[in-house]
């Protein structure tokens, strides 16, 4: 009876889905690989509702705020915090790669690798936008185009403009803010229905990963995978833990509080799959709607801690595996370029691999064909990247909310001490903490 009671909780169901997916993928690889649509469909369903949630939350929050100078300060602090922490993550990946040498002993001749594999990703990276194109792409062609394409930064821009307009429209702007908040609640309700499919999605995604790539690929590159996972865990516990402690909360209690979302991210291998849920939970923890609405979607492009660790660590691994020595000037160049290319990654699974291909362009001595070494394990690495990115954005939102005086610290402590609600619908509906 006790097990059945726990089985009603979403995080337990997701764990069961992951375990069954591992089993199916290992025993029936072809069948497991064919289950990929289950995970993809879940992510698409969530993404369908993300843009309206971001728009309504941010636009309504700015309309209530009224103080545009305060909003400008919030935006500046957000970008500064993200740049500092994400750059620190890049440096940690570089440092660990130099200390551990996960690629030592492979002695791989790049000429023996299939150049077509690396060339395919290099071609995608070559089409990556420059700075001007990137900034221009923030402006959608039409108002509804941002929602149709699901570009979070475009939606965020429209939401900011809408919120600013509402602050200038007096009573009508207040009524518009009321409507936006009501619409947001509607979409949170839709997400509450969709999230019940998370265990099925986790089952399908895990079965696909194991069925297609197999456990053998993990064994062959276990040094890199293990080093990356350990580095990411230590980054979360030590670096983000210190930031959280300085801001007045425990990283371990925070991780326990968002356990459902972490398992959804793990199963889907995409941090975007749990974006609406983390927005709702951060608000329950006492962070203001405007701060959460701006910080979290912005973090999906500017605060990719896990992706940053992966890019520098993986680059050093490829150099070591192919016996190519990198000078300190090349490593500094790698760090600088990675600071830019990492901003092109998103919450979608596999985007980090394309940005890695773009980063390798700064080191001509390192052949793009060496990317073939990582193809078999990138899906496993993607899950860790997504988890680290996700935690980093959650911690960042609480820290920045604290700086802005937009965090109810008493509620934060009370919520973390009480632990997460057992039902996602209660979180999304904004049920009272007591």
> How large a percentage of the chain has pLDDT more than 90?
17
- Asked whether the predicted pLDDT for residue 116 surpasses 80, the reply is no
Note whether residue 192 is domain-resident.
no
Looking at residue 42, which CATH number applies to its domain?
A: 1.10.3860.10
Note whether residue 234 is domain-resident.
yes
Question: What pLDDT digit, counting tens, does each position of 263-285 carry?
Answer: 888 877 777 778 888 988 999 99
| Structural domain total, the chain | 1
pLDDT, average across residues 128-157: 76
Closest by CA position to 209, among listed 121, 274, 269: 269
Note whether residue 33 is domain-resident.
yes
Note whether residue 248 is domain-resident.
yes
- Asked whether the predicted pLDDT for residue 17 surpasses 50, the reply is yes
Determine the structural domain holding residue 318 and report its residue range: 10-50+78-131+197-428
**Total residues belonging to the chain:** 434
Question: What pLDDT digit, counting tens, does each position of 390-422 carry?
Answer: 999 999 999 999 998 889 999 999 999 988 766
Question: What pLDDT digit, counting tens, does each position of 42-94 carry?
Answer: 888 888 888 888 888 888 878 877 666 777 888 888 889 988 998 899 889 98
How far is the C-alpha of 409 from the C-alpha of 398, rounded, in Å?
10
Note whether residue 182 is domain-resident.
no
Note whether residue 181 is domain-resident.
no
Predicted confidence band of residue 218 (pLDDT cuts 50, 70, 90): low
pLDDT, average across residues 161-186: 86
> What is the DSSP code string of 71-106?
HHHHHHHHHHHHHHHHHHHHHHHHHHHHHH-TTTT-
* Contact predicate 166/56, CB 8 Å: no
Note whether residue 59 is domain-resident.
no
Both tokens of residue 293? 């609405």
Note whether residue 167 is domain-resident.
no
Question: What pLDDT digit, counting tens, does each position of 179-195 carry?
Answer: 988 888 888 888 888 88
Predicted confidence band of residue 145 (pLDDT cuts 50, 70, 90): confident
């Amino acid at each position: 009876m006790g097990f059945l009671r726990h089985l009603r909780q979403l995080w337990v169901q997701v764990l069961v889905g992951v375990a069954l997916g591992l089993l199916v993928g290992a025993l029936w690889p072809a069948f497991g690989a064919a289950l990929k649509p289950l995970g993809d469909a879940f992510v698409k369903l969530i993404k369908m509702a993300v843009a309206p949630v971001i728009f309504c939350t941010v636009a309504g929050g700015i309309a209530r705020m009224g103080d545009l100078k305060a909003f400008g300060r919030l935006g500046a602090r957000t970008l500064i915090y993200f740049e500092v922490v994400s750059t620190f993550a890049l440096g940690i990946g570089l440092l660990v790669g130099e200390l551990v040498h996960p690629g030592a002993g492979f002695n791989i001749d790049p000429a023996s690798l299939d150049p077509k594999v690396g060339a395919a990703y290099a071609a995608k990276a070559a089409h990556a936008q420059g700075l001007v194109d990137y900034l221009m792409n923030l402006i959608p062609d039409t108002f509804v185009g941002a929602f149709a394409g699901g570009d979070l930064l475009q939606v965020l821009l429209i939401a900011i403009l809408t919120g600013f307009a509402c602050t200038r429209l007096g009573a009508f702007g207040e009524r518009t803010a009321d409507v936006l908040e009501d619409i947001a609640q509607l979409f949170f309700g839709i997400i509450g229905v969709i999230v019940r499919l998370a265990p099925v999605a986790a089952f399908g995604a895990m079965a696909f990963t194991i069925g297609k790539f197999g456990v053998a690929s993990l064994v062959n590159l276990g040094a890199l995978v293990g080093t990356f996972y350990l580095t990411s865990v230590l980054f979360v516990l030590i670096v983000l833990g210190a930031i959280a402690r300085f801001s007045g909360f425990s990283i371990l209690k925070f991780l326990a509080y968002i356990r459902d979302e972490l398992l959804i991210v793990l199963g889907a291998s995409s941090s975007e799959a749990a974006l609406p849920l983390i927005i709702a939970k951060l608000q329950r923890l006492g962070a203001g709607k405007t701060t959460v609405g701006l910080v979290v979607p912005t973090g999906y492009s500017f605060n990719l801690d896990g992706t940053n660790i992966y890019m520098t660590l993986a680059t050093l691994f490829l150099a070591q595996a192919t016996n190519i020595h990198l000078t300190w000037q090349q490593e500094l160049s790698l760090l600088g370029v990675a600071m830019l290319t990492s901003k092109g990654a998103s919450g979608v699974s596999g985007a980090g691999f394309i940005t890695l291909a773009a980063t390798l362009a700064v080191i001509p001595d390192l052949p793009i064909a060496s990317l073939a070494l990582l193809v078999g394990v990138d899906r496993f690495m993607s899950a860790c990247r997504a988890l680290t990115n996700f935690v980093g954005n959650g911690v960042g939102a609480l820290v920045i909310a604290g700086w802005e005086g937009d965090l109810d610290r008493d509620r934060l402590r009370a919520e973390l001490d009480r632990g997460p609600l057992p039902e996602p619908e209660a979180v999304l509906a904004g049920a009272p903490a007591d």
